[in-house]
């Protein structure tokens, strides 16, 4: 089932809402034709979604890969580089 939950309020006071499937599949946006794990939009954006039959692929990261992402390093860059 498609779910839409409050996500957060931006600094300018605009509320954002997260849309996703509770079945672990991609959602398809009717307006832009894209498939997404989840979508974050302003309230009353007008975007509509339906569930696909495409499972969301989860990517397992190693500790080093996660650290490189957090530190803003290229994946091939050494930790002490």
| 22-64: pLDDT as tens digits | 999 999 999 999 999 999 999 889 999 999 999 998 777 677 8
Instruction: Give the per-residue pLDDT at 51.
Output: 97
In this structure, what token pair is assigned to residue 19? 């849309």
**pLDDT band, very low/low/confident/very high, at 80 (cuts 50, 70, 90):** low
Q: Give the global pTM.
A: 0.67
User: Count of CB atoms within 10 A of residue 21's CB?
Assistant: 22
């Amino acid at each position: 089932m498609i779910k839409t939950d409050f996500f957060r309020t931006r600094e300018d006071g605009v509320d954002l809402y997260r849309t996703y499937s509770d079945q672990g599949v991609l959602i398809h946006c009717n307006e832009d034709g894209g498939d997404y794990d989840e979508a974050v939009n302003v309230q009353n954006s007008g975007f509509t979604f339906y569930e696909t039959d495409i499972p969301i692929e989860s990517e397992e990261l190693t500790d080093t890969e996660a650290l490189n992402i957090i530190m803003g390093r290229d994946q091939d860059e050494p930790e002490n580089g």
